[in-house]
Amino acid sequence: MPKAMKREDVKISCLVCTLTAPISIEKLLDSLLSQEWVRGDELILIDNGMSSDRRIQIEQRLKDFTKCGISAQCHQEPQRGVVHARIKSIQVSKNPWLFSLDDDNIVTPGALQQIRQRIFDYPTLGGLCPRLEPVWEVQPETWAVALGHQVLSYNVSQQHASPYQWCVWKPGVVGQRPPTGGMLIAKTVAEDFIRLCSQVPLILSFTPRTGQRLTGEDFILYSLIYMRKDLVTAYDDSIVVQHHIPERRTQLSYLIRTMFWSNYSFGIQGLMRFGKARVLYVMIRGIGRLLYEFVRQSADVISWRVVFGYLAGCLGFLYGVLAGLVDPECKRIHIDP
């Protein structure tokens, strides 16, 4: 008879991609070092542009993990861009479940142990969204918190609590999606994402650039789970990942710019999801989503800044749709069940 699987048999690869390894990565590494690891787990850090001095410092920090018997590696990805770095991390990982983190995340105590337990209890778990909390450098005003729910990678705040404690969605049912910073995903799905990127290179462009906060590769990656009939997704409020947010990201100019460019990306993705022939449907659907979110948040926050933020989002979405229409690389992808 086959040997029964134990919780310790669940192996996890923690993936961290970084451009400059900012000071916030120190807190992330501290939080990871305090987790409960098992033999076979691994920490993979992708250097996507660190200076040579900073790389030496980070490699020295990784030795703290190896001293504790934890496999910790630093790999370099010379091609700039978060999607290229993400693909590299997936390719070099060895375990069937990937826990993706950003360099400004903090993993709260017991998170890795709880993730392992959830996978053990649900072997068909294809993806999991944790509780994502903002950690403010300076406490922002309520309007900034409202706009941040759209573009600053958190799903709970003093304005909005999670409607779930623990929830599992059946295969093909769209549940709560996490951003890449905090996303748990099955490696088989991540490998589907790599193949999709090779077929549709435009996905590689969904990465922040100077003056542009293009995004959305995480939406495509997680959506691929819904196309699998053998995998479920879940939300767990007891698994907490914090996101350190500096003061500059709560300024109106940054939030408006980010609302514009993130929705620009979603405008292009709308055409990729539904096809250029359905451009009118894409526009109505995208603008309708933004209007719905605006009305929902207006119940808690009324501010002209929120109005400007959502106006920038609508303009960005329409601009993205127009850009996608004339881009021959904007091809149809199938990520909707």
Q: Do 200 and 59 sit in the same domain of this protein?
A: yes
Q: Select from 206, 236, 223 the least CA-distant residue to 122.
A: 236
The C-alpha angle 37, 38, 41, rounded to 5 degrees, equals: 80
Backbone dihedral region of 110: left (phi > 0), alpha (psi from -120 to 50 degrees) or beta? Answer: left
Six-digit token string for 321: 């749709």
- Final residue belonging to a domain, choices 201, 232, 250: 250
Q: Which of 194, 220, 250 is the last residue of a domain?
A: 250
230 shares its domain with 276: no
**Is 51 in the same domain as 151?**
yes
pLDDT(290) > 70: yes
Band (pLDDT 50/70/90 cuts) for residue 4 is low
The answer to whether residue 245 is domain-embedded is: yes
Q: Are residues 258 and 158 in the same domain?
A: no
Domain that holds residue 36: 7-250
Residue 162, domain member (yes or no): yes
31 and 180 inside one domain = yes
Q: How would residue 2 be classed by pLDDT, with cut points 50, 70 and 90?
A: very low
> pLDDT tens for residues 44-87?
999 999 999 999 999 999 999 999 999 999 999 999 999 999 99
**CATH number, domain with residue 131:** 3.90.550.10
What is the C-alpha to C-alpha distance for residues 176 and 285, in angstroms, rounded to an integer? 19
pLDDT band at 7 (very low <50, low <70, confident <90, very high): confident
Residue listed under structure tokens 């993705």? 269
Q: Is residue 321 part of a domain?
A: yes
